[in-house]
Amino acid sequence: MDIPAPRDTAESTELSQINASLQSDYGKGKWCPDGPQGKCLSLNDLERIMATSRDPKELERAWAGWHAIAPPMRKRYARMVVLANKGARETGFADVGAMWRSNYDMAPDAFSAELDRLWQQVRPLYVSLHAYVRWKLEEKYGTGVVSEDRPIPAHLLGNMWSQDWTNIYPLLAPANADPGYDLTEILKAKKIEPVGMVHYGERFFMSLGFAALPQTFWERSMFTKPQDRDVVCHASAWDIDYVEDLRIKMCIEQKSEDFTTIHHELGHNFYQRAYDTQSPLFRNSANDGFHEAIGDTIALSVTPEYLKQIGLLENVPPASSDIGLLMKRALDKVAFLPFGLLIDKWRWEVFSGQVTPENYNKAWWELREKYQGIAPPSARSEEDFDPGAKYHVAANVPYARYFLAAILQYQFHRALCRESGYKGPLHRCSIYNNKEAGARLNKMLAMGESRPWPEALEALTGEKQMDATAILEYYAPLKQWLDEQNKGHKVDW
Ligand code: X8Z
Ligand code: ZN
């Protein structure tokens, strides 16, 4: 349970009501530019604007429109913090943040130090990418909008939360190194519907030796957004009965991002099924970062070579377009790193009382600037509650797991590629169809939570420590290229 209930029944009821109402506010959230009587835009609609518009004014409106769902959550959020902390203290933790940090087979403080160590390992890579993106955006939008002397405005990065920058790849594509294909266009041209996209994901896992998903998965999952009611579209995976009733819930659109997310969600399902033979106590991942990393590890094997093998791509781009391929992936995975870290940095400060409700938004933007080097599109105040516009904050889902996953998936990928006998550069490796890699992966998945996570990590990789050298190795050619491009430009902020 991520949010511990206090013993007092009235307080515990109040807490669950608050949590339900915050989640529901997020799920119902929309922006109605012409007032509630006019046409309203859902989060999916607004995300489409963030992804495709290149008009700073329009982007700013969409950004602010979505963030307007959150101010009404602020008071309830602050009350939730008080009640949940009470529950945490009753079970022996200093606060909810300390409770969350206690799930990693090490002292809570050692865990925070571990995160900081990993961040220091990858920060130079992030900073190089950030610098390049910033001067390219300055070229595109002009110094009045973006400047090398300031953090990047959050609405120009192609994503509502500036956590995945893939959508602005066309503005940043390296000359002469473009891979020459766009998976979104391929999915559209080949008319691959949401269910078809899920089948591609399933077949990848099957190619590694995993059994097909049960019939009920196809009957009971939600793949598309229902027209007749509000649902939480944020993708999730479910294991209803700890036997065979696996499902995903997603509002799939015909786009590359969702193709990746499908693999992410299926990773949860295949992990769940692999550990369901364990005793109930151990039916979980080695730590929550492992759960988030499995599907992403598979998605790293969605290379041009793989797309060609499954008939989605005709020509594999030459090695000379590697920088383009790496750049596209880095805009997702490297751009994400500081975001993955700061969400829980903020919540830990909130739960510990270091940040009080009078400073929620200020502390939020300080972390956004410190770690991501970004700034809000326009002045914000404590009238706003910008963290609440992110699903995991409204829904109280811990987030450090995604940061861990962003590092671990490369460590897993490197080990699996090694296992498969692959020798070339990591970013061209696909373990598709490789049964040895599949068996090695399954060995770790089947352990569930029965051993401390370093042992699970060792079962797959032979390594006992989380380690960012794999992600650095993966992007090494890009890092070198970025540093070349950034000569004469300001780096860091
Ligand atoms: O929430 C998710 C998954 C569901 S567990 C889709 N992710 C984080 C996010 O969307 O913020 C995956 C990447 C990070
Ligand atoms: Zn997930």
The strand pair at 152-153 and 374-375 is best described as parallel
Residue 292 CA: nearest ligand 1 atom is 5
Q: How confident is the model at residue 176 (pLDDT cuts 50, 70, 90)?
A: confident
**Mean pLDDT along residues 457-475:** 97
Reduce the DSSP state of residue 236 to 3 states and report it: strand
**Would you state the structure tokens that stand for residue 75, as one six-digit string?**
């008071």
Tell me how far the alpha carbon of residue 148 is from its chain's centroid. 27
Task: Judge whether 248 lies within some domain.
Answer: no
Per residue in 343-393, pLDDT (tens digit) is 999 999 999 999 999 999 999 999 999 999 999 999 999 999 999 999 999
CB 293 within 8 Å of CB 461: no
The per-residue pLDDT for 232 is: 86
Per residue in 215-235, pLDDT (tens digit) is 999 999 999 999 888 888 999
Task: Judge whether 233 lies within some domain.
Answer: no
126 CA distance to ligand 1 centroid (A)? 20
Helix ranges, 237-303 (H): 256-275, 288-300
DSSP 222: B
Task: Judge whether 24 lies within some domain.
Answer: no
3-state DSSP percent of the chain in helix, strand and coil, to 5? 60, 5, 35
Ligand of minimum distance to the alpha carbon of 392:
1
C-beta of 399 in contact with ligand 1 (< 6 A): no
Amino acid (one-letter) located at 325: L
C-beta of 159 in contact with ligand 1 (< 6 A): no
Look up the pTM and report it. 0.97
Per residue in 392-428, pLDDT (tens digit) is 999 999 999 999 999 999 999 999 999 999 999 999 9
Rounded to whole angstroms, the Cα distance separating 53 from 388 reads 24
Ligand 1: which residue has its CA nearest to atom 8? 402
**Mean pLDDT along residues 303-330:** 96
Residues 6+ apart with CB under 8 A from 208: 431, 432, 433, 434, 435, 437, 438, 441, 442
Amino acid (one-letter) located at 271: Y
Task: Judge whether 239 lies within some domain.
Answer: no
Per residue in 283-292, pLDDT (tens digit) is 999 999 999 9
Task: Judge whether 487 lies within some domain.
Answer: yes
Residue 391 CA: nearest ligand 1 atom is 11
Q: How many domains does the chain have?
A: 1
DSSP string, 428-471: G---TT-HHHHHHHHHHHHHTTSS-HHHHHHHHHS--S--THHH
Judged against a pLDDT cut of 80, whether residue 243 lies above it is answered with no
Residues 6+ apart with CB under 8 A from 434: 207, 208, 416, 419, 420
CB 437 within 8 Å of CB 294: no
Task: Judge whether 331 lies within some domain.
Answer: yes
Which residues constitute the domain of residue 473? 110-180+279-493
Per residue in 78-117, pLDDT (tens digit) is 999 999 999 999 999 999 999 999 999 999 999 999 999 9
Point out which residues pair with 375 in neighbouring strands: 153
Residues 6+ apart with CB under 8 A from 216: 244, 245, 246, 247
Q: Specify whether 263 is catalytic.
A: no
Catalytic residue among 234, 264, 268, 392: 392
Task: Judge whether 165 lies within some domain.
Answer: yes
Per residue in 25-42, pLDDT (tens digit) is 999 999 999 988 899 999
C-beta of 301 in contact with ligand 1 (< 6 A): no
CB 30 within 8 Å of CB 128: no
C-beta of 453 in contact with ligand 1 (< 6 A): no
Ligand 1: which residue has its CA nearest to atom 14? 402
Task: Judge whether 90 lies within some domain.
Answer: no
